[in-house]
Amino acid sequence: MPEFTTPPLPYDYASLEPTIDTLTMQIHHDKHHATYVTNLNAALKEFPAITEQSIEVILINLDTLPVPDATRMAIRNNGGGHANHTMFWEIMTPGGSNVPTGALAETINATFGDFESLKKAINEAGTKRFGSGWSWLVADNMGALSVVSTPNQDSPLSIGKTPLLGVDVWEHAYYLKYQNKRADYLAAWWAVVNWDKVAERFAAVKG
């Protein structure tokens, strides 16, 4: 049966300095993400047919997977953790556009007013998230945008939305450098978003 694997970080651990420090990147990718993958594979050990599907398809169909509830919860947490982090590394690549461009920029302006208003909405959702979770820019299957927050490692895919951009607000994502100051981390984080990658995800939704 195929096993899920942790994709290599697509750039150096130090590439997001000074916004995200090297040690945080090492622990976050090599330990946290890798542990979600290990636990996902363990949860699916008795259900090899499910591993034939992509993690995205598994999460879209989470509620109807033919598995016991304990396994469904393990997939929700660890499969979500795997998918969420895979996207997180991809949209933070160094380089690329630092602001939205093209059709995505037009849709952001039409939906939120302007880019600053979108950032404010995502930062607010991330700041208000009690405990651990994510703040997201998502699209529905018509390409309409919205900002949502999810607890823990819940994926927007499981509520019918496609994540275009997400910021991890678990303490493990920021605590070494920002300690308790989640709002400071959120304010700084925008400097490392690669909007070319977000635009690719939007284009894939629009077909």
Which residue ranges make up the site for Mn ion (CB under 5 A)? 168, 170, 173
Q: Residue 15 or 86: which CB sits closer to Mn ion?
A: 86
Of the CA atoms within 13 Å of residue 40, those in its CB half-sphere come to 27
Cβ proximity of 173 and 73 under 8 Å: no
**Measured from the CB of residue 183, what is the shortest distance to Mn ion in angstroms?**
18
**Measured from the CB of residue 32, what is the shortest distance to Mn ion in angstroms?**
5
Torsion, Cα of 181, 150, 148, 119 (10° steps): 20
CA 173 to chain centre: 12
**Measured from the CB of residue 36, what is the shortest distance to Mn ion in angstroms?**
9
Residue nearest to Mn ion (CB): 168
Cα separation of 79 and 153, whole Å?
8
Q: Residue 148 or 173: which CB sits closer to Mn ion?
A: 173
Q: Residue 170 or 195: which CB sits closer to Mn ion?
A: 170
**Measured from the CB of residue 132, what is the shortest distance to Mn ion in angstroms?**
8
CB neighbour class for 105 (10 Å; exposed up to 12, middle 13-18, buried from 19): middle
C-alpha angle with apex 58: 147 to 44, nearest 5 degrees? 130
Of the CA atoms within 13 Å of residue 173, those in its CB half-sphere come to 27
71: its two tokens: 């396994």
**Measured from the CB of residue 153, what is the shortest distance to Mn ion in angstroms?**
8
Q: Residue 108 or 137: which CB sits closer to Mn ion?
A: 137
Q: Residue 59 or 65: which CB sits closer to Mn ion?
A: 59
